[in-house]
Amino acid sequence: MSFDWAEYFYLAQELNGTPTMPYSEEAKLRAIISRAYYAAFCQARNHLRDTTSYIPSRTKDTHWEVITHFRDNRNSERRKIGQDLGRLFEYRKQADYEDDYRGSLPINTQTALTLTGRILTRLARLE
């Protein structure tokens, strides 16, 4: 069955402290993947902005610019950040755009949290 996108609104109301309609576990898991990705992406983007001459664009291409910058780096830790961020990006796109989630949403949610934790730890070690 296709995801009911209105459930994100119900989840948002719950997070705001004013629940009105119940939301599904699927809405919660999709939101977890999305927020985990943005935590990792923004930390990585800001790391590049603050430590290199990289100036982030305000387009959708910024995501691939950041992923590629890390993934194609000679430093193995930076490459791992890029690889994990690329995988996390794919999970996020599916969670944010696909009506029918392919694969195991609970497993991919846990994987997304693991990847985000690794990315954040590696970025902190680079500084």
As for how many domains the chain has, the answer is 1
58-106 confidence digits (pLDDT tens): 888 999 999 999 999 999 999 999 999 999 999 999 999 999 998 899 9
pLDDT (mean) for 101-112: 95
- Domain assignment of residue 50, given as a range: 7-126
Is residue 1 assigned to a domain? Answer: no
Token pair, residue 63, equals 């995501």
Nearest partner of 11 among 70, 79, 74, 95, judged by Cα: 95
Does residue 71 lie in a domain region? yes
CATH number at residue 53: 1.20.120
What is the pLDDT, as a whole number, of residue 103?
87
Confidence category of residue 1, pLDDT binned at 50, 70, 90 = low
Separation between Cα atoms, residue 27 and residue 3, nearest integer Å:
8
Buried/exposed 17-41: b ≥16 CB within 10 Å, e otherwise: eeeeeebeebbebbbbbbebbebbb
The answer for residues whose C-beta is within 8 angstroms of residue 97's C-beta and 6 or more apart is none
pLDDT one-digit tens code per residue, 14-58: 999 997 888 899 999 999 999 999 999 999 999 999 999 888 888
